[in-house]
Amino acid sequence: MYFIGVDLGGTAIKIGLIAEEGRIICKLERSTPVSEGFEAVVGTINLMISDIIEKTKIDRSDIKAIGAGVPGACSEDGLMYSAINLSWENVEFAKRLKELTNIDVYIENDATVAALGEVEFGAAKGKRNVVMLTLGTGVGGGIVINNQIFSGSNGMGSELGHMIIGENYYDCNCGNNGCLETFASATAIIKYTQKLLEEDEKNSLIRDKVEGNYKKIDAKLVFECAKLGDELALKSVKRFVKYLSIGIGNIFNIFDPDIVLLGGGVSKAVDYIMESLIKETYMHITFDYDIRDRIAVAKLENNAGILGSAMYARTRTV
C-alpha cells in the first residue's frame, strides 16, 4: 500500500510516492501557478500525481490516500480557510483534489506535517513534544504534543509566524504589525537589507554583487556576505537573530518542548548563527535550564513536507 505526499508552497509543488513504512519511491517538483488561480494549482497537482503513477507503473487502487501540507489554516474536513501566499480563502481543496484523482485526500498545515515528518524520521525522532519553525518566504509553525499534532479547535492553532514580537516598519500580509515572520523570514531579511542599502551610501559587498539591482538580493546572499565580514550584511543578520531568539524564547516559555526545530530555506544558514541564537534565546526564557541541545536544524530538508503529509494521511486512514 502506498501514500501520496503533497507539499504545496507558494513557489513550488513537491509530490512524492511514499511506501507505508516511509520510503520515498518517486518525487516530482514543479512551479506553483499561483497567478492562474485555484483550479490551475489543483489541476497541476492532479497531473503530477498522474505522472508519478505512470512513471512508477503502480496501480492507482494501491494508493491508500493523499496527504497534503498546505500553507495556511485548514479544517479537518479539508476546507482551506486562508492561504495568504496563494491568495486563497475558503476553498474546498481536499474535495476538489479527490474529485480529480478519485483518491481520499487529507490536508493539514504544511509546517505541522513537516514537524510530523521530523518526529517520524528526522531530527525529532523519539521526541514527545516538538515545535518546528519553517523559515522561508514566511514563517510557519508545527506543533506536536505527546506525539499528537496540535492544530487547535479550528485548525488555526499553529500559526507561530504570526505571534507578535515587536513593532516593525512594515505590516505583515495578515494585516497585523510585528509578526515573527516580518522579522525572521527570508522575505524579512531581504526587505531589511534593501532598506539599509537605500538609507546607507557606504560600500557593501551586497551592493557590488547585485550591481545596484536590489531586486536580486536573496537571504542566501546576505548570509554569504555576512560571513565575509560585510558590515551591512552583519547588521541584517544580527537583527534576524535578535527577533528569532524572542520567538524561540516564547515557544520555550509556552510549550517547554523537548526540541525546537528550524526548517525551511533559511535554516541552511543556521549553523553560522547557532551560537549567537542560543545565547540570545537564553535572555528570553523564564526558567533556568539548558537549551543548547534543544534547538536544532531539521534533517529532512525538502523531504519533510512530502514525508510528513504522507504519514499524516496514514494516521487518518488507520
Residue 115 has a pLDDT of 94
- Give 316's contacts (C-beta < 8 A, 6+ positions apart): 65, 67, 106
Domain that holds residue 192: 126-297
Residue 168 has a pLDDT of 98
Return the closest-CA partner of residue 97 out of 11, 13, 29. 13
| pLDDT for 250 beyond 90 | yes
**195 falls in which pLDDT band (50, 70, 90)?**
very high
**Residue range 148-174: average pLDDT?**
90
Return the closest-CA partner of residue 196 out of 238, 235, 170. 235
Whole-structure pTM value: 0.88
**Residue 107 and residue 238 share a domain:** no
- Domains identified in the chain, total number: 2
Residue 76 has a pLDDT of 82
* DSSP state letter for 257: -
What CATH number does residue 143 fall under? 3.30.420.40
Question: Could you report the per-residue pLDDT of 10-22, keeping only the tens digit for each?
Answer: 889 999 999 989 9
Strands 139-145 vs 148-149: parallel, antiparallel or unpaired:
antiparallel
In the block, residue with C-alpha cell 513536507: 305
**Residue 152 and residue 242 share a domain:** yes
| pLDDT for 85 beyond 80 | no
Where does residue 154 rank: exposed (0-12), middle (13-18), buried (19+ CB within 10 A)? Answer: exposed
The CA distance from 17 to 306, in Å, is: 8
**Residue 40 and residue 78 share a domain:** yes
**Residue 157 and residue 107 share a domain:** no
Which of left, alpha, beta for 254 (phi over 0: left; psi -120 to 50: alpha)? alpha
In the block, residue with C-alpha cell 551592493: 207
**Residue range 104-115: average pLDDT?**
93
C-alpha cell at 267: 535554516
Residue 222 has a pLDDT of 97
**Residue 263 and residue 160 share a domain:** yes
Percent of the chain with pLDDT over 90: 80
**Residue 169 and residue 136 share a domain:** yes
Return the closest-CA partner of residue 72 out of 136, 148, 159. 159
Task: Report helix angle 38-56 to 93-101, nearest 10.
Answer: 40
- Give 311's contacts (C-beta < 8 A, 6+ positions apart): 3, 5, 18, 22, 67, 113, 116, 117, 120
150 versus 85: the higher-pLDDT residue is 150
**Residue 261 and residue 135 share a domain:** yes
Question: Could you report the per-residue pLDDT of 110-135, keeping only the tens digit for each?
Answer: 999 999 999 999 999 999 999 999 99
The CA distance from 84 to 274, in Å, is: 30
**Residue 22 and residue 7 share a domain:** yes
Q: What is the DSSP string of 262-288?
A: EESGGGGGHHHHHHHHHHHHHTT-SS-
**Residue 201 and residue 104 share a domain:** no
C-alpha cell at 315: 494516521
**Residue 91 and residue 225 share a domain:** no
Q: Where are the beta strands (DSSP E) in 20-100?
A: 24-31, 63-70, 73-74, 80-83, 88-91
**Residue 256 and residue 172 share a domain:** yes
Question: Could you report the per-residue pLDDT of 22-79, keeping only the tens digit for each?
Answer: 999 999 999 999 999 999 999 999 999 999 999 999 999 999 999 999 988 888 888 8
**Residue 272 and residue 146 share a domain:** yes
C-alpha cell at 127: 521526541
Where is average pLDDT lowest: 91-95, 140-144, 197-201, 220-224? 197-201
